[in-house]
Amino acid sequence: MIPFDQARRNMVDSQIRTTDVTSYKVLDAFLKVPREKFVPESQVAFAYSDADIRVSPTRVMTQPSSLARMMQLADIKPDDLVLIIGSGSGYTAAIASKLSNTVVAVESDEKLAANAEAAISALGYDNVAVIWADVKEGVPSEGPYDVIFINGVVEEVPQALLMQLKDGGALVTAKGNDHMAEAIRILRVGDSFSSLSAFDTNAPMLEEFHKSQGFQF
């Protein structure tokens, strides 16, 4: 039997701490959430490898070190309402649940959304709601949000998502393409938005967020 508790500790100490993640609350969240509960059964042996794991034809779990850096950039507060875009298997939403007051997670894949909800419910994380809906539209009915976290790389950030931020809220994502991307944090102040580029990342692409002719930040 795989010693998951030790594997989780090794992940935090050897993969996450070594990539400039210093936030105690982020490190603690990764220690508490059992990643093995969110990977396909055939991939359980690789749950704590520092690698992306495909969970469906359209979704990939980001490697722990990259996800942890993005979570640190999001700077989620204990009272925050957080929206996760592209929740996939539910692992990112589970991590966010340890950092925030309430998490709304949206996923376009109906089966993935159901599986994520089941995994989160089985662990007793009762401050998370998983919604099956169009990831590009978010969930405006539950907002506005303190933090919006897009769980992957986008070529554009839709205005529909930016407008779901609270005044003073932040959207965190990786912007780029299949070959190169950088983590960014977009802050809303009134009706204005400012963007901070933080670091390069190799997070997986979210196919719904390829460029279109519409608004892009």
Q: Choose among 92, 113, 117: nearest CA to 30.
A: 92
Rounded to an integer, the average pLDDT of 117-141 is 95
Q: Which of 38-42, 134-138, 179-183 has the lowest mean pLDDT?
A: 179-183
- Pairing mode of beta strands 81-85, 145-154: parallel
- Locus of tokens 């990643």: 35
CATH number of domain containing 77: 3.40.50.150
In a domain, 39, yes or no: yes
User: Is residue 11 assigned to a domain?
Assistant: yes
Report yes or no on 98 lying in a domain.
yes
Domain assignment of residue 216, yes or no: no
Residue 215 lies in a domain: no
Least confident segment among 42-46, 93-97, 144-148: 42-46
Average pLDDT over residues 161-184: 92
Query: pLDDT tens digit string along 45-54?
Result: 999 998 888 8
Encoded tokens for 102: 């309430």
Residue 160 has pLDDT above 70, yes or no: yes
Helical ranges in 49-201 per DSSP H = 64-74, 91-97, 110-122, 159-162
Mean pLDDT of the region 76-104 = 97
pLDDT class of 76 with cuts at 50, 70, 90? very high
Lowest pLDDT segment from 109-113, 131-135, 200-204:
200-204
217 domain residue, yes or no: no
Report residue 180's pLDDT band, with 50, 70 and 90 as the boundaries: confident
**What is the number of structural domains in the chain?**
1
pLDDT at 214: 47
Q: What percent of the chain has pLDDT over 90?
A: 74
Average pLDDT over residues 188-211: 86
Question: Is residue 216's pLDDT more than 90?
Answer: no
Determine the Cα–Cα distance for residues 105 and 11; give it in Å rounded to an integer.
Answer: 24
Tokens of 69: 């850096």
Q: Where in the sequence is the domain holding 201, given as residue range(s)? A: 4-209
Compute the mean pLDDT over every residue in the chain, rounded to the nearest whole number. 92
Judge whether residue 212 has pLDDT over 70: no
* Averaged pLDDT, 135-139: 93
